[in-house]
Structure 1
Amino acid sequence: MLPSSQLDPLSDVLRSVRLRGSVFFHVSCRDQWAAFAPPSSMVAPAVMPGAEHVIEYHLFAKGEGWVKLDGEPPLRLRQGDIVMLPHGDAHTISSEPGLAPAEEGDWLFRMRDAPKPIPITYRGTMFEPGSRLPAGDASTVIVCGFIACDLRPFNPLIAALPRLLHLPAEGVGAWVAPMLEHAVSESGDRRAGTAALLERVSEMVFVDGARRYLDTLPQEAQGWLGALRDRQVGRAIALMHADPSAAWTLENLGQRVNLSRSALHERFVALTGLAPMQYLANWRMQCGARLLREGGSSVAAVALDVGYESEASFARAFKRATGLPPAAWRRAQLQPAAQATA
């Protein structure tokens, strides 16, 4: 059976969508400078091959700058700030708003196999991959990382996060900046265990950011994270996560959270955009995907573990959610990243 979630749906989702990250760039800047980052879907084959979705983040380890997304006002970033792009939007980072980014060409794909972190220098309109300014010469130093995750069968977190997630230095855990800089230093030394360290630090940064964003939401916030903050809808979600194989109905969920069937349905849909039973079906698919990927259980056993009475009914629902039957989906997950992408 699936392990207990201890009534923590956010942790459930974070565990199930396979967070993984390790790619770092160490960016040194001086004078006026500007860099353009294309959508993460375009750079994913170079930085995280085989990833379904890639999130980019930047830590301003020294100095200040600005980040700009299309349709959004520029945001000033100060030393110690972290900015994340949960949806993978293209963006510009610069010493001041309105500067034209340096021409970069296809360097990222040419250097995809270079040891990490890859040093990068921006000096005025000059762009020099593979070069690092002496620490005293750089007016700004930025550590850039990437985090991959799954979107299918069901990842409600990414859609619930903003296009740009700003974590000011005063709100970031005191351990974050030193850990990131230590990870970059370790990767430069190419010591044993470095890859695992980079992965864990990137994941911790994202988890910390998601938690802090959840903590700042107003009580009336909508979306999946807003639903977790709602006393009754959040409780209903937690119950379904804690035991997805249970024979949940709208009636017994309502009884557990002290709402009528109609009131629970109405509030659940208003916050999440899904009916409670549709949410349950989606979560069962995500749990099933995790069991298929991580364990050696048969498809029939997985079907029972996530609340389906027959392998056939589970297989039909899983194919609707992922485009593949369960056995074929599991084989695809086990293939090398390049084959999985193709």
Structure 2
Amino acid sequence: MAGDALSDLLRTVRLTGATFFDIEGHEPWAVCSPAPSSILPKILPGADHLISYHVVTAGRCFARIVGQEAIALEAGEVVVFTRSDPHIMSSNPALRADPPTADVLDIATAGRMPFYINCAGDGATSARLVCGYLACDAQPFNPLLEALPPVIKAGDVKGDGGWLGQFINLAVTEVAEKRAGSETVLTKLSELMFVDVLRRYVESLPPQHTGWLAGLRDPHLAKALALIHDRPAHNWTVEGLAKDSALSRTVLAERFTRLVGMPPMHYLAKWRMQIASELLSAGNSNMASIAAEIGYESEAAFSRAFKKMIGVPPSAWRLGIRTGSGSDEA
């Protein structure tokens, strides 16, 4: 039985949560996000993509990507900046703020989490937030990141007892009590929260929406994607995928290309290289075993395909050399 393509992707791209801030804002207040380049080396060395999130646990505030319209947030809502674009959290959308200095980041990441920040204005407390980051790999192939908008706002429907409300209650408890293991608990909670936000986003997509997440919503394409993720080394053909996904070859090829953005065999080739890049970075497998694990009969064939698609030989990738993607052939 095929697995869950979304879960498999999140595992393969090393999604992990880290570095938490407990922010208390007193009117007027504003906090600017630090640059991703100053955060990533501290929370997940080797990862190349940062996702920021802010959960409003009390009061209300505004969030905005620098240069764009502000988004109003109330207690029980979360905003996720999927590309960690420079953004400002504030009590008033007109307020400006400078990014934190490097020494503040060093103190925050070196100490026990969550790190408390008192944004002190002259007024009363207007908001409490639990903020944090998730890191993951974007290269060589992360179709999820390509499918997400820069910012997602989510919240439970009033009275439905949804997961976000439970997350907030648990996060508030962990922040307040600072028990042993609280940082680990917050890490896992943030990862679960992000998955729930993704689910809500997928459910909200209009019927005409295209992209990898739209493919997950289509039951036949979700099956095809799950098969590819579950058995990447299998000698897949469009005919075989179509049969196992209960579609004709023509319909699968057309629908997959239209929604996911590439033909099924190109997706398979890219996914194989994503798995290979993870195994190469881990450094625990030799080239021959990696080639076999993703469906290549020889180390030489794998090396040629990897260099053609990724732009560098597998050995260079293992050493940390990165470049742009090339062709999409399996």
TM-score (structure 2 length as normaliser): 0.84
Does residue 26 (structure 1) correspond to residue 13 (structure 2)? The answer is: no
| Residue in structure 2 matched with residue 80 of structure 1 by the alignment | 76
How far does residue 181 in structure 1 lie from its aligned partner after superposition?
Answer: 2.2
Paired with 2:175 and 2:146, the residues of 1 have a C-alpha distance of 29
Q: Which moved more, 1:57-66 or 1:27-36?
A: 27-36
In the other structure, the counterpart of 2:154 is 167
> CA–CA distance in 2 between the matches of 1:164 and 1:40?
15
User: Given residue 158 of structure 1, which amino acid in structure 2 is its aligned partner?
Assistant: L
- Aligned runs of 1:253-292 on 2, under 5 Å? 253-292=241-280
- Segments of 5+ residues of structure 1 without an aligned counterpart are 127-136, 334-342
Q: Distance in 2 between matches of 1:149 and 1:321?
A: 21
Please report the RMSD computed on the Cα atoms of aligned residues, expressed in angstroms: 2.8
Match of 1:120 among 88, 103, 117: 117
- Shift of the alpha carbon at 1:41? 3.6
Letter in 1 for 2:113: K
* Residues 332 and 96 of structure 1, relative CA distance in 2, 3 Å threshold: same
Sequence identity (%): 39
What pairs with 1:150-189 in structure 2 (closer than 5 Å)? Answer: 150-170=137-157, 172-185=163-176, 188-189=178-179
Give the count of matched residue pairs: 316
Q: CA–CA distance in 1 between the matches of 2:172 and 2:117?
A: 15
Query: What is the deviation of 1:264?
Result: 2.6
Structure 2: runs of 5+ lacking an equivalent: 322-330
Cα distance change, pair 110–38 in 1 and its aligned pair in 2 (3 A): closer
Match of 1:202 in 2: 190
Alignment of 1:174-253 (within 5 A): 174-185=165-176, 188-189=178-179, 191=180, 193-253=181-241
C-alpha deviation, 1:163, in angstroms: 0.9
CA deviations 1:264-318 (Å, max 9, x no partner) are: 3222221122111110001112223344456844321221121111111112333
Deviations 1:102-135 (A, max 9, x none): 6744443442423322211222399xxxxxxxxx
Per-residue deviation at 1:7? 3.3
TM-fit CA distance, 1:225:
0.3
Give, in whole Å, the separation in 2 of the partners of 1:53 and 1:103.
Answer: 19
Q: Report if the CA contact (8 A) 2:147-2:211 is conserved.
A: yes
CA change 1:299–1:122 in 2 (3 A) is: same
Aligned position for 1:131: none
Q: CA deviation at 1:48?
A: 4.3
Q: Specify the alignment match of 1:62 in structure 2.
A: 58
Distance 1:232 1:195, change over 3 A: same
- SS of 2:31's partner is strand
CA distance in 2, matches of 1:70, 1:220: 29
The Cα of 1:203 is off from its aligned counterpart by 1.4
Partner of 1:300: 288
Per the normalisation by structure 1, the TM-score is: 0.82
Q: Is the 8 A contact 1:20 1:203 kept in 2?
A: yes
